[in-house]
C-alpha cells in the first residue's frame, strides 16, 4: 500500500442528499473505532478516475459487499417510518441514507460526502486513512 495522498484539484468534497452513479462501488473501508465508512469506485481499466463516498459518524448500517450502480439518498419519510418500524429510532444528529430500495441496504450517519480524483487503487482517500 502506498502512503501518498492523491492529487487534489482544489475542490472541497461534496456533501448532499443524493448521489447516483452507474459505476461499480465496493465497501472499501470501515473504522469501528471512529465510526467511518468508505465506499469506492476505483480507477481501473477505462475508468478515468476514482470516486469515494464517505459516511462519518455511522450509527448503523446494512450493506452489500458491492454495488453495480449506486443510488444513495436521504430516505423518504415513508422509508424512515419503515426503518423505525423494523429497527427502532434514528439517533439525534443522524440521517438515514438508503443505498437500495425497501431498506435492502442503508447507512445511518451524520452526513454523506463524495469526492472524485485521480488517485490510484491503494492511494489514501481525501477523507483520510482508515487503518
- The pLDDT mean for the chain works out to 89
Average pLDDT over residues 42-60: 93
pTM to 2 decimal places: 0.88
Residue 14: pLDDT band (50, 70, 90) is: confident
Residue 12: pLDDT band (50, 70, 90) is: low
Which DSSP string do the residues of 12-74 spell out, in sequence order? PPEE-SEEEESS-EEEEEEETTTTEEEEEE---TT---EEEEEE-S--EEE--SEESSEEEEE
pLDDT of residue 4: 41
**Which residues are paired to 66 by β-bridges?**
26
Amino acid at each position: 500500500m502506498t502512503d501518498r495522498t492523491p492529487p487534489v484539484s482544489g475542490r472541497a468534497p461534496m456533501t448532499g442528499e443524493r448521489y447516483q452513479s452507474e459505476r461499480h462501488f465496493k465497501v472499501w473501508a470501515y473504522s469501528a473505532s471512529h465510526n467511518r465508512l468508505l465506499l469506492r469506485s476505483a480507477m481501473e481499466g477505462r475508468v478515468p478516475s476514482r470516486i469515494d463516498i464517505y459516511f462519518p459518524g455511522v450509527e448503523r448500517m446494512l450493506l452489500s459487499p458491492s454495488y453495480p450502480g449506486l443510488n444513495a439518498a436521504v430516505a423518504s419519510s415513508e422509508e424512515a417510518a419503515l426503518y423505525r418500524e423494523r429497527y427502532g429510532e434514528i439517533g439525534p444528529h443522524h440521517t438515514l441514507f438508503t443505498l437500495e430500495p425497501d431498506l435492502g441496504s442503508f447507512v445511518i450517519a451524520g452526513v454523506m460526502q463524495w469526492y472524485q480524483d485521480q488517485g490510484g487503487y491503494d492511494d489514501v482517500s481525501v477523507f483520510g486513512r482508515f487503518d
